[in-house]
Amino acid sequence: YGASINYYLKTPRARVTVTIADRNGDVVRTLEAQATAGQNVLTWDRRDQEGRTIPAGVYQVELTATTDEGEIVRLTRTARVD
């Protein structure tokens, strides 16, 4: 039970923050991880910041990667949760 957020990182290492927002733009969950070059996966348990299961719907997922050199890369996608 959960959702996998897959991403590819070109730089040797980065701090990754994933922000998940509902259709109103309200942030329901923020996930953080240290990532290395190559394919990476973050797992979201489909719960909000307070631990409640989120309802089905459409969510915006924004991934921000910050390298050790300070370079910032952002990617936003729409995800449907059933």
Q: What CATH number did the domain enclosing 7 receive?
A: 2.60.40.4070
CA distance 3 to 20: 12
Q: Determine the structural domain holding residue 61 and report its residue range.
A: 3-81
Mean pLDDT of the chain: 95
At 44-74, the pLDDT tens digits run 999 999 999 999 999 999 999 999 999 999 9
- The domain total for the chain is 1
What average pLDDT score do residues 20-48 get?
Answer: 97
The pTM of this model reads 0.91
pLDDT band at 2 (very low <50, low <70, confident <90, very high): confident
Confidence (pLDDT) at 9? 94
